[in-house]
Structure formats: structure tokens, C-alpha cells
Amino acid sequence: MNSKKRSILLVYTGGTIGMMKDYASGALKAFDFSQLLKNIPELNQLDCTISSFSFNVPIDSSNMNPTHWVEISDIIAENYNNYDGFVVLHGSDTMSYTASALSFLLENLAKPVILTGSQLPIGDLRTDAKENLITAIQIAALQQNGKPVIQEVGLYFEYKLYRGNRTTKINAEHFQAFASLNYPQLIESGVHLTIFKEYLLPQKKKSALRAHQNMDDNVAILKLFPGINENIIDAILAAQNLKALILETYGSGNAPMEEWFLKKLKNAIKKGVHIINVTQCSGGAVIMGQYETSSKLKKMQVINGKDITTEAAITKAMYLLGSGVSHELFKTVFETSLRGEMI
Ligand code: ASP
């Protein structure tokens, strides 16, 4: 470790982590982040200089949208050279979507961007916020041989750092709210921080950070269920300007073989809609062609989402459409891992 103090920028977007109980009324109120060090004196023990930036109006993460993602990515890009690492405080509900979106928007990222939040507000007696916040900052400050250990977008929650675009919120009340079922954790926090170096994205060559600006929201998710009827499929495929559809299929990428269903998908593809096959199982991968029920999809050029999460698939589709990848290249680029989001 070299002895220079690390500088960390905390970006507060909202969510439970930033709330404090007003003991007079008992109500939860957004916390004044300029008072961070005063309210959480433990942070003074970290060997870091901490600055904070707060959204003008902190939001519940259910209100997140692609404009906010670009805003967060811009804040990081504008401050990139002045800080060693970034911690984004965010509501847990859509944190996996934001982590995925940021991973795509921030091309050539060579510094840590760690998202965290909490299930209980920071002022609650049994809060998980302090541990999550303190360890997220420690992880953002980690360096070895003068280089950041983490050079990607991570999500830290309940003693584990995951690759952000591999995560899913799996529980609405357990402190362990996230899982990364198709990719191992990157760091485990115990008495020491154990870093699983073999799973980190490789150190970046010296290309400059590129913060992309456009996400195209002409996308949809369709989760199959036994009994899904023509009207439902028609309604989704008839959405004006629909450009990409994440099709949540069964098991390893299987879908009904009824003629009407396959014909509707085929027509949509012919009209220029990209259809991406993602499994609705929490873990495992799509293997197109393993069963007869997916070989028809393969034949009609449905895109293989492999082991990508739905959160990463929808944000990757928005990013690729927004970045102007040509229609012909979309399938090849989608099937390629850009930020470690798929095999
Ligand atoms: N509803 C909150 C949010 O996502 C929950 C949380 O912060 O964990 O903003």
C-alpha cells in the first residue's frame, strides 16, 4: 500500500440507505449528505478523503430511469481524474439495473465504481447501512502497486462484492438481498477482505474512459407462462417503435412450439425487432438448440442471451440501440461479452 490518502467520491441518489429517523415524529427523512462525516464519525477512521455529491432530489430507486443512469455516469466521468474510486448509494430495488447500465455506459472503466445501499435506514439501531457503506468505501479505495484493485462496476451488499451486471435482487427483507448466480463473488468481507483476483475483470490498457450518453428505451421484456395467449403476444409486439424484446423463456431457453407463436416471433424479427432469449431461471444459461423447443428459435435468428441476467439484458439492449450499432451487427455484438456480463 502506498501511504497517500485515497480520495473517494460518494454519489447519493436516494433509497433507504440515505434515510434517518426523525425521533420526534418517528418518520424517515432523507439524510443531509453534507453532514455525512458528522453523522457517521466511523468514516473518519478510514484512511480516505471522502467527498459527496447528492442528487438534488434523492429518489426511491423505483423511480430510476435511463436519464438518471446517464446522469450518474456523467458525474463519474466529470470527476474521474480527481478521485481514486466512486461509491454510488442507491435504493436496492433497482440497483442491479443501474449497476448493469453503468457497466455498459462507462467504457474502458479502470477505477472502482461500487454501488451499495441497505435494507434498513442508516439511523436505525439494527441498520446494515453502516457496514455496507464503510466496506464499499474501503473496496473503492483498494490499490495494489499503485493501481486500483477493482476496475469495474461492482455491487457491495452484506459482506459480498459482486460484479454489478451479474446481480439480481432476490429478497425484499433479508439483509442478503442480492445474488450473483452465474458468476462468483469478487470480494468477501470477513475479518479481512478476501479478494478473488481470478474473477476480476483484467486490468485495463491505457484507453481513456468513454462515458456513453444514449440509451434507447424502445425495448420490452416478455416473460412466458403456460397459457400465454395470442392477444398478449400481439399487444407487446405491436408496441410502437419496439426495437428489442427480451424473451424470458423456460429452462435452458425453451419456448412453446405452437405454430402461431413461432410465426409471430418470426414476423417481428422480419420487421426488424431483435429478440433475445434469456432464461427465466435465476441461474444457468440458455443453450439454443439443446431441445427441439429452442432449435426453432435458433433457426429464426433469435439472439442467444446465454447466462445474462434480465437486468443486464435489458440495459445492454438499450445501450447497444443507443450507441448506434448497426442492425446487422446487433446480434453478434449482443452475443459477445462486453463487460463480463455473460460467458
Ligand atoms: N424502495 C427502496 C429503494 O429501492 C428500497 C431500498 O432502498 O432498499 O429505493
The pLDDT tens digits for 216-267 are 999 999 999 999 999 999 999 999 999 999 999 999 999 999 999 999 999 9
By most ligand atoms within 8 Å of CB, the mutation choice from 60, 65, 155 for ligand 1 is 60
Map out the domains of the chain as residue ranges.
6-211, 219-334
End-to-end CA distance of the chain: 33
The answer, yes or no, to whether residue 35 has pLDDT greater than 80, is no
Closest C-alpha to ligand 1, atom 3: 91
Q: Which residues pair with 28 in a beta bridge?
A: 21
Q: Give the closest residue to 304 by CA, choosing from 289, 282, 324.
A: 289
Cβ atoms within 10 Å, residue 93 = 18
CATH of 219-334, one of 3.40.50.40, 3.40.309.10, 3.30.70.360, 3.30.70.20: 3.40.50.40
Distance from C-alpha of 243 to C-alpha of 107, rounded to nearest angstrom = 23
Across residues 75-89, what is the average pLDDT? 98
Atom of ligand 1 nearest to the CA of 14: 9
Residue of the CA atom closest to atom 7 of ligand 1: 91
Q: Which atom of ligand 1 is nearest to the CA of 60?
A: 9
- What's the gap in Å between 300 CA and the centre of ligand 1? 40
The torsion angles phi and psi of 70, rounded to 5 degrees, stand at -65, -35
Give the neighbor-by-neighbor strand order of the sheet with 274-279.
219-223, 244-249, 274-279, 303-304
pLDDT reported for residue 24:
84
Q: What Å distances lie between residue 99 and 47, 58, 91, 154, CA to CA?
A: 26, 17, 11, 7
- Calpha distance 88→106 (Å, rounded): 14
- Sign, CA dihedral 335-336-338-341, equals positive
Does the structure show a pLDDT above 90 at 37? no
User: What confidence score (pLDDT) does residue 122 get?
Assistant: 83
66-91 average pLDDT score:
98
Can you read off the three cell numbers belonging to residue 324?
448506434
- C-alpha of residue 175 to centroid of ligand 1, in Å: 13
Centroid of ligand 1 to alpha carbon of 60 (angstroms) = 6
d(CA 257, CA 289): 13
3 — pLDDT class (breaks 50, 70, 90): low
Q: Is 279 among the catalytic positions?
A: no
- Assess contact for 273 and 241: CB atoms under 8 A: no
Residue 59 Cα: closest atom of ligand 1: 9
Nearest one of 105, 165, 157 to 136, comparing CA atoms: 157
- pLDDT for the residue numbered 218: 98
Q: Which atom of ligand 1 is the closest one to the Cα of 118? A: 8
CB burial readout 111-137, b (16+ within 10 A) else e: bbbbbbbbbbbbbbeebbbbbbbbbbb
Pocket, ligand 1, Cβ cutoff 6 A: 14-16, 60-62, 91-93, 117, 119
Higher pLDDT, 206 or 252: 252
CA of 177 to the centre of ligand 1 (A): 11
- Predicted local distance difference test score (pLDDT) of residue 206: 78
Across-strand partners of 279?
249
Question: What residues form DSSP beta bridges with 327?
Answer: none
User: What is the structure's pLDDT at 1?
Assistant: 47
Share of the chain above pLDDT 90, in %: 87
Please give the radius of gyration of the chain, using alpha carbons only, rounded to the nearest integer. 21
CA of 230 to the centre of ligand 1 (A): 36
**Three-state SS across the chain?**
CCCCCEEEEEEECCCHHHEEECCCCCCEEECCHHHHHHHCHHHHHCCEEEEEEECCCCCCHHHCCHHHHHHHHHHHHHCHHHCCEEEEECCCCCHHHHHHHHHHHEECCCCCEEEECCCCCCCCCCCCHHHHHHHHHHHHHCEECCEECCCCEEEEECCEEEEHHHCEECCCCCCCCEECCCCCCCEEECCCEEECHHHCCCCCCCCCCEECCCCCCCEEEEECCCCCCHHHHHHHHCCCCCCEEEEEEECCCECCCCHHHHHHHHHHHHCCCEEEEEECCCCCCCCCCCCHHHHHHHHCCCEECCCCCHHHHHHHHHHHHHCCCCHHHHHHHHCCCCCCCCC
163 vs 293, more confident: 163
Residue-wise pLDDT tens digits, 166-195:
999 999 999 999 999 999 999 999 999 999
**Which residue CA neighbors atom 8 of ligand 1 most closely?**
92
* The domain defined by 6-211 carries CATH number 3.40.50.460: no
Domains 6-211 and 219-334 share a fold: yes
Q: Is 336 left (phi over 0), alpha (psi -120 to 50) or beta?
A: beta
